[in-house]
Structure 1
Amino acid sequence: MVRKALGKGLESLLSNDFVPSKHILLELEIDGIIANPYQPRKEFNEESLNELAESIKVEGILQPLLVRKVKDVYQIVAGERRWRAAKKAGLEKVPVLVLEVDDLKLQQIALIENLQREDLAPLEESNAYKNLIDKYGFTQAELAEQIGKKRSTIANMLRLLQLPDQVKKELESGSITVGHAIAVLSVDGLDQQETLSREIINSGMSVREAETAARKMKKTKADKPVPQPGRAYEQLLQKLRNHFKTKVEISSKGHAGKLAFDYYSDDDLNRLIILMGIKIDS
């Protein structure tokens, strides 16, 4: 029976539109089944697979794999972990339920299966969301509705893809959490983000402490005094004022800026233009 509590979960996707009405279970040769190319999970824990394989040797596969037929083979829709463990257990055949699903449903089901078991690593989840958005043109709100997640969750997970490579490695290794990573993203610049991530790890900060450290880092940057013009800058400004006999201001930002001259009448403007050596057709 479909459990409504899952909302847009796996059961919702496996509605009568996609599950054969007769629900006939088949047994297929394990070598005639291939993995899901859209599987968001890239790493399978070997120890966990071995434990499942031992259980399968004793109990068999209690829940059939979901597959779809692609040409002469069957492609996994859900249950790749069971399939891998069954191969380790030496099974020659496995129970399956054949579905008729398109690529979009295939990706959605594979993603939701992993999300419901909380098996995906953070960046695997982020990339799965990005692939669905890029391939099918979903907005974040539409994707959230499709898979039963909050839009803010989708947005935050997608932001993880903006982390510096070093911080991504720290997230993948478990040195920092998703909450830490979001705090890191709140500061500007890759260097500052890497610095904050190192401080989080070295100090063993909680997420709340990391958020506080990020706010302090941003405030320190905002309070940093603007460098005052040097002597050469002041000399240049004075020479310009003496030459053009008017008020001259230079405002700079990094390597760019503005040079402004004041004039007080049309004749004064023409005088400045002549001093600049600009010829205007009469």
Structure 2
Amino acid sequence: MTTKASTAKKRSKTKVAAKEVVNGKKTLALQIQNLPIGKIKPDPKQPRKTFDEKQLVQLSESIKTYGVLQPITVRQMNGHYVIVMGERRYRSSKLASKKTIPCIVKNFENNDVLEVQIIENLQRKDVEPTEEAEAIAYLSEKYTPTEIAKRLGRTDNFIRQRLKLAGLIDGFKHFVRNGEMTISLGVGVALFEPEEQQMMLETMGEDFNAHQINRAIKDQTYDLEKASFDVTDKKLVPKVGSCVECPFNVANQGNLFGEGKMVCTKAACFETKKSKSFLNLIEKSKKENILLIPDIRQYWADDESNQLIISQLEKNGLKVYLLDDVEIIENPIEPTIKTIQEEYQHYDYSEDELKAELDEAMQNHSEALEEYNSAKENGFVNGILFHPETYRNKEVFIKIVEKSKDESTDYSAPLANRKMADCTPEEQIVKINEREIRKKQIENNKQFEEVVQMIRETKYIDTKKTLSVDEMVAFSISLFENNVDYVGRQKYFSKLLGNTSKMTKVEMVENFKRKFKKEIFHKLIRYMLTKQVHFGESNHVNNLTNISFYNAMQGYYKSQITGIEKEYAEKRSKRETRLKERITVLEMQVQELNE
């Protein structure tokens, strides 16, 4: 028979008085009750959706031994209890086969429950980033980013980044959740409208490709620090105002790319301002009688985009001079020890050697400055040199190169200096073929650079595998080509590459590979490999270091490289088809002239 005393004793075990702490002060005592787990239900609107199963099992083992040390918070509803805070402890208690769980029963308004849950979840350390972003977005309907930051103990920039991440479409959120996509890359994608994000996703295909997404972001965003126009100008395009106040400038969205970094995400607006700035540049040239020179060489003048620039200048009544037609003197930049250190960063120079380089650079600067200051006395006039794609420009001194009478005649001038229309069909064929060779080299340069940039964005440097023979060959040739001087080559490496007089660059690499002795290299070597390659005029078919590196990377990123190669091959194939048709017509003209 149960006595009143024993019943009271049981109740004392079931309910325990507790103080609730609000703003650092203890308030009204709350009762901790051991409630049956069967009467407790998770909240279906709970913002937390993901639970680590391994961690739940670990917590359940602890609960089996020590019990639930911190009660969960619930509210009463329709004859049962709904969890407000503590669903993880609840799930682990069920795994531990517990019949009851300590609870604090509180009354909440419906709207207050979700806010409390969100704030409680956001204060955890293991919160999933996209869930965190969605939760912060919910709070932003009621609070400013600064207020949210104070409530959560976070920085304003962190809150703004998460708010931007909340705008990521579900297809990309999936990649953030499984760890394939970094948060920073997710924020970069979230800069764009959902329709644009969907296009990126569909273009990428089923497998996540960080390099491709980075390229897409780069192609659709614009660094305002490199704009050809004044980003503070409110009158350039009056309807949109200045870039510094524009909502499409990420600096106004919470410094997403770093403190004060200005990046435009509105392509149409940027292009409009860029075009308007070019028209203003033309007007300035006409009004102030300043020569306007596009940064274009004669051999590249027939390119479609360059032809468009040239035609624009001509339509506006300007006489077109290319770089081959003028001499240019720029205002020289004074060297500093910092610029010298950057220039010779790959050389093991002592402080005295760097100082000597700086002294020589200062002497060269002094001579260049003297030439600049006396430019007008030597027949130079004011001019503006501009880039044909970006329209970025700078003021320079210009002198038109005078050509002799003989040089100006149609057939005595060098073939490279004559326009296509002034050439015979045979000469046009020569010029077409020469330009195609040049275009292939430039494409190879760009292709090689793109492959290297793609590899630098992967985790290649952290790869734990032993280096392959190709990687070791690449590093050895890199050291040989970039760090061994003429005396060292003759003294120690005269037979290293064999008789190279009849070898192509690719064959020299293969010959070296056959003679190579395998050794063990480490992470530092892989790091140096990605830094030793050359861009610009060097690429994967005309530079020893680059060829070796390109070959070595095939073993790691063959599919990505194949994708890049395919893009360039398709462009080249289309162009070569057009060229063959053009040459065929010219050959027929040649035949007619010879008959």
Same fold (TM over 0.5): yes
Deviations 1:229-267, CA, capped at 9 Å, x for gaps: xxxxxxxxxxxxxxxxxxxxxxxxxxxxxxxxxxxxxxx
Shift of 1:157: 1.6
Structure 1 residues 58, 190: closer, same or farther in 2, change over 3 A? Answer: same
Query: Percent of aligned pairs with the same residue?
Result: 30
Shift of 1:164: 4.0
Secondary structure in 1 matching 2:31: coil
CA distance in 2, matches of 1:191, 1:171: 15
Secondary structure in 2 matching 1:69: strand
1:95 match: 102
Structure 1 residues 219, 153: closer, same or farther in 2, change over 3 A? Answer: closer
1:166-177 matches, cutoff 5 A: 166-177=171-182
2:46 match: 39
| Aligned length, in residue pairs | 209
Shift of 1:65: 0.9
Secondary structure in 2 matching 1:117: coil
1:250 match: none
Code of the residue aligned with 2:33 in structure 1: it is L
1:106 match: 113
Secondary structure in 2 matching 1:36: coil
Contact 1:164/1:193 (<8 A) preserved: no
Structure 2 residue runs without a partner (length 5+): 1-19, 224-266, 276-304, 309-595
1:179 match: 184
Contact 1:196/1:214 (<8 A) preserved: no
Structure 1 residues 68, 226: closer, same or farther in 2, change over 3 A? Answer: farther
Structure 1 residues 80, 54: closer, same or farther in 2, change over 3 A? Answer: same
Q: State which of 85, 93, 113 in structure 2 corresponds to 1:86.
A: 93
Structure 1 residues 40, 143: closer, same or farther in 2, change over 3 A? Answer: same
Shift of 1:202: 4.7
1:132-151 matches, cutoff 5 A: 132-133=139-140, 137-151=142-156
1:101-250 matches, cutoff 5 A: 101-133=108-140, 137-186=142-191, 189-190=196-197, 193-194=200-201, 202=209, 214-215=217-218, 218-219=221-222
Shift of 1:128: 1.9
1:64-79 matches, cutoff 5 A: 64-79=71-86
CA distance in 1, matches of 2:158, 2:203: 23
CA distance in 2, matches of 1:162, 1:226: 39
1:58 match: 65
Contact 2:122/2:152 (<8 A) preserved: no
Deviations 1:96-146, CA, capped at 9 Å, x for gaps: 122233233322332232222223222212222333445xx4444444455
CA distance in 1, matches of 2:152, 2:132: 12
Contact 1:78/1:110 (<8 A) preserved: yes
Contact 2:41/2:81 (<8 A) preserved: yes
2:392 match: none
Shift of 1:197: 8.2
User: Bigger CA drift: 76-85 or 153-162?
Assistant: 153-162
Deviations 1:143-198, CA, capped at 9 Å, x for gaps: 44554444443332222233244322211211112122123334683377549989
Moved over 6 A (4+): 195-198
Code of the residue aligned with 1:107 in structure 2: it is L
Contact 1:187/1:193 (<8 A) preserved: no
Structure 1 residues 31, 151: closer, same or farther in 2, change over 3 A? Answer: same
Structure 1 residues 191, 119: closer, same or farther in 2, change over 3 A? Answer: same
Secondary structure in 2 matching 1:24: strand
Code of the residue aligned with 1:26 in structure 2: it is Q
Contact 2:189/2:197 (<8 A) preserved: no
Larger gyration radius, structure 1 or structure 2? 2
1:1-20 matches, cutoff 5 A: 15=22
Code of the residue aligned with 2:167 in structure 1: it is Q
Structure 1 residues 72, 132: closer, same or farther in 2, change over 3 A? Answer: farther
Contact 1:67/1:98 (<8 A) preserved: yes
CA distance in 2, matches of 1:71, 1:195: 46
Structure 1 residues 102, 165: closer, same or farther in 2, change over 3 A? Answer: closer
Contact 1:26/1:97 (<8 A) preserved: yes
User: Bigger CA drift: 40-49 or 217-226?
Assistant: 217-226
CA distance in 2, matches of 1:172, 1:218: 25
- Cα RMSD for the two superposed structures: 4.0
Q: Which has the higher contact order (CA 8 A, sep 6+)?
A: 1
CA distance in 1, matches of 2:201, 2:43: 35
Deviations 1:57-79, CA, capped at 9 Å, x for gaps: 11111111112222322221211
User: Bigger CA drift: 73-82 or 159-168?
Assistant: 159-168
